[in-house]
Amino acid sequence: MPRRTYNIAMVCDFFYPQPGGVESHIYQLATKLIDRGHKVIVITHSYEDRQGIRYLTNGVKVFHVPFAVIYRSSSFPTVFSFFPLFRNIIIRERIEIVHGHATMSTLCQEAILHGRTMGLRTVFTDHSLVGFADTGSILTNKLLKFTLSDVDHVICVSHTCKENTVLRAALDPLMVSVIPNALVSDDFKPLPRPEPSSLPFVQHPLPAHPLGPNDTVTIVVVSRLFYNKGTDLLTAAIPRILENHPNTRFIIAGSGPKAIDLQQMIEQNVLQDKVEMLGPVRHENVREIMVRGHIYLHPSLTEAFGTVIVEAASCGLYVVCTAVGGIPEVLPSHMTVFAKPEENDLVAATGRAIAALRANKVRTERFHEQVKTMYSWTNVAKRTERVYRGISGDIGEDEFYGTDIGNASHWSATRGRNLALIDRLKRYYGCGVWAGKLFCLCVVIDYLIFVFCEWWWPKDQIDIARDWPRKPPVSSDDEE
Amino acid sequence: MAHMPPAARDGPHPGLTLTRSATAPIESSSPRSARSHLAPEDAFVSTSTSPLISQQPTQRRGSHAAIVHDSGNELRPRQTRSKLGSRSRSRRRRRNWKKLLWVKQSYPDNYTDQATFLENLQRNPRLQPYEFWPLVADISVILQQVCSVTIFVVSFVGIFQERVSPVSVVGWGSFATFVGWLVWDNWVGQEDEDEVLQRRRSNRSRAVTEQSSRRGRPQSSVIGLSASATGSVTSLAATERAYPQAAMGRSSSTSALSFQQSTSQAGSTVRLAIETSDEPKHRALSPLPGGRTGLRLGTIKSAVLIYSTLLGLSPILKSLTRSTSSDSIWAMSFWLLTINIFFYDYSGGVGVKFPASLSTNAALMASTVLASRLPSTGQVFSLTLFSIEVFGLFPVFRRYARHQSWKYHVALSVMLVMGAGAGMGMILGGEKDGVSLWRSGLLGVLLAALAAIVAIGGCSWWLISLQKYKNAINGPWDQARPIIISRRLWDDD
């Protein structure tokens, strides 16, 4: 049976040329979806001189929409001003599914709203964890609830992230899929190991890292040096780790406001010859830094997924990390040592990791192959495609959401099948006493703008863009 | 979660029932035993299930499993046919679902496991329900400050309307301050003796933090003394800034200008003392008890200094705002005194070095602009000195009184309420003849007492009744709080 392919628009404020996790996620997912025969465009705001339309590798068409950037490359939230342009792009490219990324991206939130107004299917991918305590979180959560009141499906990068998103936006848990991030494992290969035949005498099995008791263990840290990345813990732990384990070195890559604390710690304890600070590094150079070490230390305080620890494990490093957020779900226990986010426990866990490496108990040389089977973008694309099929009705609703919830009638309203304005308004109205009315007002205005656009720029007068030559769709169930 | 979509509100859906019951505000007023308190390790260890949540699904699961059982047979052939298209929610599987991302699971991505979903959710983990009487006691601190401000305003109005002689105001104020100083000195002396005894008894007590902050104080005063001789105040701006410092100067007998320096040194001493070394404590104790006389002398010296500075500045202050209309001054001083009340450091203990400088500065600025409305130098001087006593020194005394005994605190509160009430009554009510003045004063006392009781009781009760709306949600998605023991140089957050 020929499988249906979709025209998908990924919308996010964060995209190349800016580096980052969300950016590479969107790009990788887009290319892999194109490999599966879909058509993917990316809509983002303009970055300095980069405006207009660009094509990336594999035919990813990127629209850099001119919008003012206000804070950390989020565009200014105007709610409606994006609509005419958005509608034009959607019609030109014959988009069927709008896929927004990242909570903090206003462009994404607006696109989901307009997409629903235009009668499209919408998906939202959440990449971050947000608490419930402070004012900023409360506002963010309210905004997210507005957007997600009327979305077809949500994708989260970890189960913890799913719990968080379900709570924040009051969603049906079955509307939320967990599809982790992945990595390009070929970019994170460990150092080539000498062929057993070239060694003077053959050991069976070859030890993981033939570490003698006096060899130096190198601990790598690659992280932005911010408070929420646990740099304070790192600063407190490094002198103690070095005191307990004299044959240890640190390599720290990354920059941020907490770098000065690390510098102070190094100078105060005279550790210049044991701790090397590399400053900011580009993502493509991370592998070269990682393969210099034996242990990767990740002291973060909050993390939705933690791609970097997967990258480290893929490079053959033993991972020491704090068990926060989604991190405990990411790697199997034989690759990681978990610590509480406490100074003492971090020191102890690093000590255990060093001891295990010295005893040659950890087969780090196998990590790369194992990680390769765990995470791949192809798999992510396949799972995302199932979401697309589910929301487009190509998988039956029973099959997609499950049948055994006979009492699910109350959820069918929230699952966003129905695009009628009155049903959408019902969903928005439930958002809160005041917020609900405000949101309804926004939706009604959005709808009026849509009607106006339909009249002013009729659909049949908009040119249809020519597609990049499509790849033949892969049949649905074959394993890669 | 307070506002779910109405459709979600009353559904027996298992997954949401779980969240809903876990976040329903009604239950938060139930006894504390039902609530699991958060231990530090709960923030990241996923093993413990809170009793509240683990109970709910089990009883739900019974009915839920029955539904699944029926559809189980139909499901079987489908599973083999399509892996991705298999139904969610079915519990009849070969392998259990795991909350892991690296495992290839035979469940669809939107599968929600009833047993583990939101199992680490915690509602109000650190909630400490308020109790009535402690709350009343805490509110009385605010009451004291409000009453102090009222008394100051009353004094100003009295002086301004020439009902009260400024000399009597400042005379009684200074007398009270002197008595207060003696009492305070006595308390501090006792405390230090107690500390010496305590140190002898247990050399390594774990309650180092609070006491060492107190111990740091005498040493700082010694440092301050050396520099105090050079201190002289020349400009108005400097004086205004110096007032709160002078207020503290009473407690640590430093002159105004040297205080900044000594505070920072005291701060570092405290920090040293918190860290493990014993050495600073010995040094800190060394000026006792022989140094006490020196401290007293220093206090007197700085008092004389402030006194003469004020005397010199009064003529300048008198004409400070001559070109400004009185309306602006009233409005400005109202806002400044409001700032004083709102930003006052109500929680500060006795060891606080620089309590609420914004608040104190605002009050002193208010007194300065108010004083500039007064016609004669003597009045200006009296009011400014009185304001220093009320806003700079009196809070220190109140803190110590509360620290010393609740009896003193209560007595002080009652006196303040009565004083403020009487003053208000006299200012608002009476003509100048004696009888009606006393009558209106008495009426004011009664009204003030009534208002204080109603306000304190009402506010406490209100706050307690608002507690049932408290609904803090915590879980593994929250940013962890790092526990860092060896803070060496950095003491942010």
Looking at per-residue confidence, does A153 or A408 come out higher?
A: A153
Overall average pLDDT of the B421-436 stretch: 78
* Cβ proximity of A11 and A98 under 8 Å: yes
Q: Are residues B156 and B98 in the same domain?
A: no
- Please give the mean pLDDT across all residues of chain A: 86
> Among A162-166, A452-456, B53-57, B326-330, which is the least confidently predicted range?
B53-57
What is the distance between the alpha carbons of residues B217 and A450, in angstroms, rounded to a whole number? 70
Q: Are residues B356 and B431 in the same domain?
A: yes
Q: Are residues B97 and B241 in the same domain?
A: no
Overall average pLDDT of the A139-144 stretch: 88
Q: Write down the pLDDT at residue B478.
A: 86
Q: Are residues B406 and B342 in the same domain?
A: yes
Q: Which of residues 360-379 of A touch B (CB under 8 A)?
A: 374-375
Using a 10 angstrom Cβ sphere, with 0-12 exposed, 13-18 middle and 19 or more buried, the burial of residue A455 is exposed
Tell me which of B123, B154, B188 is where a domain ends.
B123
Report yes or no: B115 at the A interface, CB cutoff 8 Å: no
pLDDT at A251 > cutoff 90: yes
Q: Nearest Cα to A148, choosing from A173, A123, A130?
A: A123
Asked if the Cβ–Cβ distance from A129 to B477 is below 8 Å, we say yes
Is B85 a domain residue?
A: yes
Give the C-alpha distances (Å, rounded to integers) separating A5 from A388, A473, B426: 9, 7, 87
Q: Write down the pLDDT at residue A199.
A: 52
> Among A68-82, A297-311, B80-94, B352-366, which is the least confidently predicted range?
B80-94
Please, which pLDDT band fits residue B44 given cuts at 50, 70 and 90? very low
Is B476 a domain residue?
A: no
Give the end-to-end CA distance of chain A in Å, rounded to a whole number. 19
Please, which pLDDT band fits residue B289 given cuts at 50, 70 and 90? low
What is the distance between the alpha carbons of residues A269 and A240, in angstroms, rounded to a whole number? 10
pLDDT at A453 > cutoff 90: yes
What is the distance between the alpha carbons of residues A223 and A230, in angstroms, rounded to a whole number? 9
Overall average pLDDT of the B62-70 stretch: 37
Q: Are residues B83 and B183 in the same domain?
A: no
User: Three-state SS string across chain A, please?
Assistant: CCCCCCEEEEECCCCCCCCCHHHHHHHHHHHHHHHCCCEEEEEEECECCECEEEEEHHHEEEEEECCCEEECCEECCCCCCCHHHHHHHHHHHCCCEEEEECCCCHHHHHHHHHHHHCCCEEEEEECCCCCCCCHHHHHHHHHHHHHHCCCCEEEECCHHHHHHHHHHHCCCHHHEEECCCCCCHHHCCCCCCCCHHHCCCCCCCCCCCCCCCCCCEEEEEECCCCHHHCHHHHHHHHHHHHHHCCCEEEEEECCCCCHHHHHHHHHHCCCCCCEEEEECCCHHHHHHHHCCCCEEEECCCCCCCCHHHHHHHHCCCEEEEECCCCHHHCCCCCCEEEECCEHHHHHHHHHHHHHHHHCCCCCHHHHHHHHHHHCCHHHHHHHHHHHHHHHHCCCCHHHHHCCCCCCCHHHHCCCCCCCCHHHHHHHHHCCCCCHHHHHHHHHHHHHHHHHHHHHHCCHHHCCCCCCCCCCCCCCCCCCC
Looking at per-residue confidence, does B241 or B455 come out higher?
A: B455
Q: Write down the pLDDT at residue A253.
A: 92
Q: Nearest Cα to B205, choosing from B115, B112, B278?
A: B278
- CATH class of the structural domain A187-374: alpha beta
What is the distance between the alpha carbons of residues A234 and A257, in angstroms, rounded to a whole number? 14
Q: Are residues B114 and B137 in the same domain?
A: no
**Closest-approach residue (CA) in chain A for B7:** A410
Q: What are phi and psi of B488, to 5 degrees?
A: -90, -60
> Among A273-282, A407-416, B469-478, which is the least confidently predicted range?
A407-416
Q: Write down the pLDDT at residue B21.
A: 35
Overall average pLDDT of the B37-64 stretch: 39
* Cβ proximity of A121 and A98 under 8 Å: yes
Overall average pLDDT of the A32-54 stretch: 90
Angle, CA A104 vertex, CA A102 and CA A106 arms, to 5°: 95
Asked if the Cβ–Cβ distance from B13 to A408 is below 8 Å, we say yes
What is the distance between the alpha carbons of residues B421 and B445, in angstroms, rounded to a whole number? 4
Q: Are residues B97 and B211 in the same domain?
A: no
Enumerate the residues of chain B whose CB falls inside 8 A of the CB of residue A163: 117-118, 120-121, 475-477
pLDDT at A420 > cutoff 70: yes
Give the C-alpha distances (Å, rounded to integers) separating B7 from B3, B23, B435: 11, 17, 70
Q: Which of B119-128, B198-207, B273-282, B482-491 has maximum average pLDDT?
A: B119-128
Tokens linked to B140: 């009385």
B169: domain range?
Answer: 132-469
**Closest-approach residue (CA) in chain B for A345:** B483
pLDDT at A22 > cutoff 60: yes
Overall average pLDDT of the A144-149 stretch: 89
User: For chain B, what is the domain count?
Assistant: 2
Q: Cβ contacts of residue A12 below 8 Å, gap of 6+?
A: A22, A23, A26, A42, A43, A44, A100, A101, A102, A105, A107, A108
Q: Are residues B84 and B188 in the same domain?
A: no
Q: Nearest Cα to A12, choosing from A116, A91, A88, A123?
A: A123
Helix intervals (H) in B88-207 = 132-160, 166-201
Q: Which of A170-174, A469-473, B209-213 has maximum average pLDDT?
A: A170-174
Q: Which of A114-128, A409-423, B78-92 has maximum average pLDDT?
A: A114-128
Q: Which of residues 27-56 of B touch A (CB under 8 A)?
A: 40-41, 43-46
Report yes or no: A270 at the B interface, CB cutoff 8 Å: no
Q: Write down the pLDDT at residue B132.
A: 86
CA dihedral A405, A409, A410, A416 (to 10 degrees): 100
Overall average pLDDT of the B14-25 stretch: 36
Question: Looking at chain A, which residues constitute the CATH 3.40.50.2000 domain(s)?
Answer: 7-182+377-461, 187-374
As a whole-number percent, the residues of chain A with pLDDT over 70 amount to 90
Is B480 a domain residue?
A: no
DSSP SS3 for B328: helix
Tokens linked to B353: 């070095």
Report yes or no: B447 at the A interface, CB cutoff 8 Å: no
Q: What is the pLDDT of residues B296-319, one digit of tens each?
A: 888 889 889 988 998 898 888 888
- DSSP code string of B410-473: HHHHHHHHHHHHHHHHHHHT--SSHHHHHHHHHHHHHHHHHHHHHHHHHHHHHHHHHGGG---E
- Residue B491 to chain A, least CA–CA distance (Å): 10
Cα B444 to chain center, whole Å? 30
Q: Write down the pLDDT at residue B476.
A: 85
> Which CATH architecture best describes the domain A7-182+377-461?
3-Layer(aba) Sandwich (3.40)
Please, which pLDDT band fits residue A468 given cuts at 50, 70 and 90? confident
B36 DSSP 8-state letter: P
**Angle at which helices B166-201 and B291-318 pack, to 10 degrees?**
150
Which residue type, as a one-letter code, is found at position B13? H
Q: Write down the pLDDT at residue A195.
A: 57
- Residue B53 to chain A, least CA–CA distance (Å): 14
Tell me which of B77, B105, B123 is where a domain ends.
B123
Strand-strand pairing, A39-45 and A153-156? unpaired
Q: Write down the pLDDT at residue A301.
A: 92
Q: What is the pLDDT of residues A83-98, one digit of tens each?
A: 999 999 999 999 999 9
Asked if the Cβ–Cβ distance from A161 to B477 is below 8 Å, we say yes
* Cβ proximity of A362 and A334 under 8 Å: yes
Enumerate the residues of chain B whose CB falls inside 8 A of the CB of residue A236: 484-488
Phi-psi region of B449 (alpha: psi -120 to 50; beta: other; left: phi over 0): alpha
Q: Are residues B411 and B311 in the same domain?
A: yes
Q: Which of A131, A343, A411 sits opposite B479 (nearest CB)?
A: A131
Enumerate the residues of chain B whose CB falls inside 8 A of the CB of residue A164: 475, 477
Overall average pLDDT of the B412-435 stretch: 83
Please, which pLDDT band fits residue B176 given cuts at 50, 70 and 90? very high
Overall average pLDDT of the B413-430 stretch: 88
pLDDT at B199 > cutoff 50: yes
Q: What is the pLDDT of residues A287-304, one digit of tens each?
A: 999 999 999 999 999 988
Q: Which of residues 161-220 of A touch B (CB under 8 A)?
A: 161, 163-164, 166-167, 170, 172-180
Place of tokens 């409005």: B331
Q: What is the pLDDT of residues A196-231, one digit of tens each?
A: 555 555 444 444 456 667 788 999 999 989 998 999
Q: What is the largest CA-CA distance in chain A?
A: 81
Consecutive H or E run containing B123: strand B122-123
Looking at per-residue confidence, does B250 or A32 come out higher?
A: A32
Is B423 a domain residue?
A: yes
DSSP SS3 for B19: helix
Please, which pLDDT band fits residue B4 given cuts at 50, 70 and 90? very low
* Cβ proximity of B169 and B161 under 8 Å: no
Q: Write down the pLDDT at residue A415.
A: 56
Report yes or no: B66 at the A interface, CB cutoff 8 Å: no
Report yes or no: A386 at the B interface, CB cutoff 8 Å: yes
Q: What is the pLDDT of residues B121-174, one digit of tens each?
A: 888 877 778 888 888 888 888 999 999 999 999 999 988 888 888 888 889 999
Tokens linked to A441: 């007002």
> Among A43-57, A181-195, B200-214, B234-248, which is the least confidently predicted range?
B234-248
Which residue type, as a one-letter code, is found at position B381? F
Is B474 a domain residue?
A: no
Tokens linked to A42: 């990316």
pLDDT at B87 > cutoff 80: no
Q: Write down the pLDDT at residue B295.
A: 83
Q: Write down the pLDDT at residue B401.
A: 87
* Cβ proximity of B394 and B367 under 8 Å: no
Is B322 a domain residue?
A: yes
Which residue type, as a one-letter code, is found at position B208? V
* Cβ proximity of B425 and B445 under 8 Å: yes
Overall average pLDDT of the A52-65 stretch: 91
Q: Write down the pLDDT at residue A4.
A: 84
A 10 A CB-CB count for A214 gives 8
Overall average pLDDT of the A296-318 stretch: 92
The number of residues making up chain B comes to 493
Is B475 a domain residue?
A: no
Q: Which of B2, B8, B482 sits opposite A233 (nearest CB)?
A: B482
DSSP SS3 for B122: strand
Q: Which of A228, A375, A414 sits opposite B7 (nearest CB)?
A: A414
Report yes or no: A131 at the B interface, CB cutoff 8 Å: yes
Q: What is the pLDDT of residues B258-267, one digit of tens each?
A: 333 333 443 3
